[in-house]
A and B are shown apart, each in its own frame.
Chain A
């Protein structure tokens, strides 16, 4: 009985929903504040992301006529559930090293794709031409970045011979080798697309598609999508740090934990700077970019990792 309560607590409170949501929203405040300062604006107050989510929750939910109601409303929950579970599985070995299982890397890789898939499903369910264009762009984007992203994640697997976070964290970090550095750069570029931030924000492209995939969403479902995005903004960099850059090992004491947190903030700052120093690219340009140079570098990283392992 207690075991089940602990599991439920892990998913709902720490390191699952509540923890991820709070840190995710704080991160989205950092994103908004740094963006504002880069753009010579003042920026929002610290609690603004929380106010936003609370306000979404008390707004009216409109379901468009002709939409598939169940799918339309279920899609955001689908994404939220996926990122919650992904974050839980990802954080457990960093707090309790024994709590990882063989193949958790594969599970998290799958779960991190689901928020994007849920956006695709929700946009197609909303029966809006603009949303379906946004959805088709999101789908093309998933197809573009998944291959190089998985190639980058293969590097630590090759180096440690394991698909378990606990083992990967126990070994020396991949980013200490040339293959790991290439893989980290590839993964950072893919992360930008996975978070659909500029220059890869064409699924929602405000000035082209007025919100694209999210155009028909309002109230709590939209709030859940926004919350999911904020949680992804937290989970994605942590995933990168975990598999490639030594993780944020809370169980090892203060110094490694703080070092991990610094790496996390560093990745967030890189992401925010990329998003503020580039215009949006077209979807065909993004696909060429990911299937061309980015995949090439991913393959190089894998080959170098093999050679290093000989």
Chain B
């Protein structure tokens, strides 16, 4: 039996854009075990948010991730609106959906390009990113920025989309459809791509449900889960579109799901743009205060459901802001997907969930003198439980009794 070696992917590795550490335990070319170590990129955003006003915390969560830079704000403003019963004008809802779908297109194109790069297919990488520029140009035209659009605010959006711009946007969408059709055909017909991705990194429907995976990762395994359909928000209830699913749960299906989703996104944007011609109105209800209460907001980010919880006590800042990003759920599936595969396949499997570590990071403080963790997940959990208990005492409510036996 060959000797077992560890192939490190990380903490800094060309495969990943962000710091993370996968330890592949290999026998020859076969992966027999996987350790996932994250935590290189933590910034304490939840805690920071408690020291910011509601308007500021939207800007803060925009910086959770550069790629999902409008998914987090949408979920955040929805949580604030839910907590404070804030009305949102209809026109703002359409604009939210447009920005969100443009973000999905650019994020999926980013992934598609990177997937090509991981497979050594650099032409796909460069071409996809070339067409992604057009999407970013549209975003720059509408919002002033290629990323970090700063469009969302509690009660609406910051900027309107002008009628004069709509024909230009539609023209770019038409060009994009042609480019995407090219990539769709290239991926679906290429025999070498088939050989590299079909039957590779399969996640079964049951595994998806067990691990609570979300987004395209889940949809590629036949789990029809999409927050936009399950809990319609923004303008998703007003337009006609369908949830894309596939059955096999391999890397190929994840690719196909993402490519086809981009066509759905274009369809959503086109319908929303048409509606903008007839729906008048302000784009912002300008709320002056947020009433005390709890609120949740979720949004289907390109990687899956992003969830925000906000508690307001009637002041101008949240007393608790909880973020759950989709990669937190999806990265955990890497281990089952990668076991028994070869190293060559492991890299594309790890990348297939479109991991985003800066969304996912949890804190661990290390005491450098002693070399031991000073503040760790169990401590954070304990602090959080104590705070919850204190809040419950103050508000006089009784929360559910939860068992955290694994951690404590």
Q: Do A and B come from one complex?
A: yes
Is A102 an interface position by the 8 A CB rule? no
Considering the chains assembled together, what is the distance between the CA atoms of A41 and B15 in angstroms? 21
- Tell me the complex Cα distance, A40–B124, Å: 11
Q: Taking the nearest CB of chain B, how far is it from the CB of A285, in angstroms? A: 6
A129-B5, A133-B7, A198-B120 are contacts. A207–B347 as well, Cβ < 8 Å? yes
Which B218-254 residues have a C-beta within 8 angstroms of A?
A: none
Residues of B within 8 A of A282 (CB): 195-196, 342, 344-345
Do A279 and B344 touch (CB < 8 A)? no
In the complex, B209 has a CB within 8 A of chain A: no
Contact assessment for B126 and A281 in the assembled complex, using a CB-CB cutoff below 8 Å: no
The reply to whether B14 and A210 contact each other, CB–CB distance below 8 Å, is yes
A155–B97 CA distance with the chains assembled, in angstroms: 65
Q: Does B122 contact A (CB under 8 A)?
A: yes
Complex formed: what's the CA distance from A275 to B130 in Å? 19
Residues of A within 8 Å of B126, CB to CB, are 39-41
Q: Is A52 an interface residue (CB 8 A)?
A: no
Q: Per-residue CB proximity of B190-217 to A under 8 Å, as 1/0?
A: 1011011000000000000000000000
B289 on the A face (CB < 8 A): no
> Quick one: given A207-B14, A207-B120, A208-B347, are A281 and B130 in contact (CB under 8 Å)?
no
B195 is contacted by which of A40, A209, A277, A285 (Cβ under 8 Å)? A285
Instruction: Give min CB distance, A205 to chain B, whole Å.
Output: 7
B186 nearest CB across to chain A (Å): 10
A174-217 residues with Cβ-Cβ distance < 8 A to B are 198-199, 201-202, 205-210
Q: Are B13 and A210 in contact (CB under 8 A)?
A: yes
Bound complex: CA of A276 vs CA of B125, how far in Å? Answer: 11
Q: Are the CB atoms of B127 and A207 closer together than 8 Å?
A: no
Q: Which chain A residues border B15 with CB–CB below 8 Å?
A: 207-208
Known A40-B130, A129-B5; contact A279-B121, beta-carbon cutoff 8 A: yes
- How many residues on chain B are close to A (CB under 8 Å)? 34
Residue of A nearest to B346 (CB): A208
In the complex, whether A251 has a CB less than 8 A from a CB of chain B is no
| Contact bitstring A11-42, B, C-beta under 8 A = 1, else 0 | 00000000000000000000000010011110
Alpha-carbon separation in the docked complex, A205 to B15 (Å): 10
Nearest residue in A to B26 (C-beta to C-beta)? Answer: A133
| Contact, CB under 8 Å: B192 / A284 | no
A99 within 8 A of B: no
Say if the beta carbon of B118 comes within 8 Å of chain A.
yes
Q: A41, A198, A207, A280 — which one has the most chain B CB atoms within 10 A of its CB?
A: A207
Q: A136 to chain B: which residues have CB within 8 Å?
A: 28
B343 at the interface (CB under 8 A from A): yes
Q: Does B116 contact A (CB under 8 A)?
A: yes
Docked Cα-Cα span, A207 to B192, in Å, equals 18
Question: Are A207 and B5 in touch, CB under 8 angstroms?
Answer: no
Q: Name, among A35, A129, A283, the residue most crowded by chain B CB atoms within 10 Å (CB to CB).
A: A129
Per a CB cutoff under 8 Å, which of B28, B29, B119 touches A279? B119
Give the residues from 1 to 33 in chain B that come closer than 8 angstroms, CB to CB, to chain A. 5-8, 13-15, 26, 28-29
CA distance A58 to B192 in the complex (A): 40
Task: Check: A278 CB closer than 8 A to any chain B CB.
Answer: yes
Please name all residues of chain B whose beta carbon is closer than 8 Å to the beta carbon of A205 when the two chains form the complex: 120, 344
Q: Indicate if B320 sits at the interface (CB-CB under 8 A).
A: no
Interface: B158 (CB within 8 A): no
B123 touches A276 (CB 8 A): yes
Are A277 and B123 in contact, CB atoms less than 8 angstroms apart? yes
Proximity string of chain A (122-134) to chain B, C-beta cutoff 8 Å, 1 when within and 0 when not: 0000000110110
B362 at interface (Cβ–Cβ under 8 A)? Answer: no
Return the CB mask of B329-348 against A: 1 if under 8 Å, else 0: 00000000000001111110
Q: Are B6 and A279 in contact (CB under 8 A)?
A: no
Q: Which residues of chain A have C-beta atoms less than 8 A from B343's C-beta?
A: 133, 208-209
A283 CB contacts on chain B under 8 angstroms = 29, 342, 344
Closest to A278 in B: B192
Inter-subunit contact B6/A284 (CB<8 Å): no
A40 vs B345: C-alpha distance when bound (angstroms): 28
The interface residues of chain B lying within 8 Å CB-to-CB of A129 are 5-7
A202: chain B residues within 8 A (beta carbon): 344
Q: Using Cβ atoms and an 8 Å threshold, which residues of chain B touch A284?
A: 29, 342
- From B342, which residue of chain A is reached at the shortest CB distance? A282
Within the assembled complex, what's the spacing in Å between the Cα atoms of A40 and B129?
10
Give complex CA distance A285, B343 in Å.
13
Q: Known contacts A201-B120, A206-B14; decide if A281 and B192 are in contact (CB<8 Å).
A: yes
User: Please, which residues of chain A bring their CB within 8 A of the CB of B6?
Assistant: 129
Pairwise interchain contact A39-B120, C-beta atoms closer than 8 A:
no
Nearest residue, chain A, Cβ from B115 = A279
* A199 to B123 CA separation, bound complex (whole angstroms): 12
Q: Are A279 and B192 in contact (CB under 8 A)?
A: yes
In the complex the two chains form, what is the Cα distance from A221 to B18 in whole Å? Answer: 30
Name the residue on B nearest A137 (C-beta): B29
The one of B28, B121, B127 in contact with A280, judged by C-beta atoms closer than 8 angstroms, is B121
Of B28, B126, B130, B344, most A-chain CB atoms within 10 Å: B344
Verify if B322 is at the interface (C-beta below 8 Å from A): no
Q: Would you give 29 A-B contacts (Cβ < 8 Å), ordered by A?
A: A35-B122, A39-B122, A39-B125, A40-B130, A41-B126, A129-B6, A129-B7, A132-B5, A133-B26, A133-B29, A136-B28, A199-B192, A208-B343, A209-B343, A210-B14, A277-B123, A279-B121, A279-B192, A279-B193, A279-B196, A280-B119, A280-B121, A281-B195, A282-B344, A283-B29, A283-B342, A283-B344, A284-B29, A284-B342
Instruction: Please report A residues at the B interface, Cβ cutoff 8 Å.
Output: 35, 38-41, 129-130, 132-133, 136, 198-199, 201-202, 205-210, 276-285
Give me 7 other A-B pairs in contact (C-beta within 8 A), A132-B5, A206-B120, A208-B343 excluded. A40-B127, A129-B5, A129-B6, A130-B8, A276-B123, A280-B344, A281-B195
The 10 closest A-B CB pairs, nearest first, are: A280-B120, A39-B126, A279-B119, A279-B121, A129-B5, A282-B344, A207-B118, A276-B123, A208-B347, A207-B15
